[in-house]
Amino acid sequence: MPSMIIPTPGAIYNFIFIDGYDKFNGVYKVVKVMTYDEYLDDGGKLVDDWFKPNDKTEDDMQQLLPDIRAAKMLKLTQPDYDDVSTTIYASMYFVAETPDFNVSKYYKFGMISTIGVTKDPTLLNFMKKTFTEIVEATYGITPDVNFVTIKEEWLTDSQYSQLLADRDKDKLKIINYYSENLRLQKQLSQANTAIKEYEKLIANLQSQLSSSSGG
């Protein structure tokens, strides 16, 4: 095992283990750094904790046991949890390189929205493409868009017809984003064209004034 910095208890690192023993590669919080004897006192069972999960046998353990006993043992857990059920024990003997402490928490996010009642949910499928294009253009993320039925409601035909009529009224209140965007882009283009013409005119006038002053 190459010489490397021993991780600090309480800190979070990305661990990479040597080939063949890399089942647990990932980010962990260091709960404790122990000697091998302290590991046994902590309830550790090397075959069950490390060798079997890495598809190794007790014979593999016996061959490496002297090196393992000489190395520090790490008690690791998932970064956001201290529950002992998530504990992983690993010997520094199997750590491939100094654990990387340059790790930060990021959020894998989504969006949940109640849309309303419809007779045929497939009618909303067109929104998947639109929403996907907006998110891709804004964030470079391709979302996995799915519509789900959260519950069922029973309505009379007249009640459902009224619901649709109310929606039609609401649609008239909303400015269509895309048509408004195109209108504003056209105005901006026209304004930029006008500015360029004014710049040419100003440059021409300045040239004329310079010629007159020189004469």
pLDDT band of residue 176 (cuts 50, 70, 90) is low
How confident is the model over 17-49, as pLDDT tens digits?
999 999 999 999 999 999 999 999 988 999 999
CA 89, CA 111: separation in Å to the nearest integer? 37
Per-residue pLDDT at 200: 87
Where are the domains positioned within the chain? 12-94, 121-204
Summarize pLDDT for 49-96 with one digit per residue, the tens.
Answer: 999 999 999 999 999 999 999 999 999 998 876 555 678 999 999 999
Distance between CA 18 and CA 96 in Å, rounded?
5
Q: Quick one: which of 146, 143, 124 has its CA closest to 133? A: 143
Residue partners of 101: CB distance under 8 A and separation at least 6: 7, 11, 12, 13
List residues bridging with 27 in a β-sheet: 14
What percentage of the chain exceeds 70 in pLDDT? 92
Cβ burial, residue 15 (10 Å; 0-12/13-18/19+):
buried
pLDDT of residue 85: 62
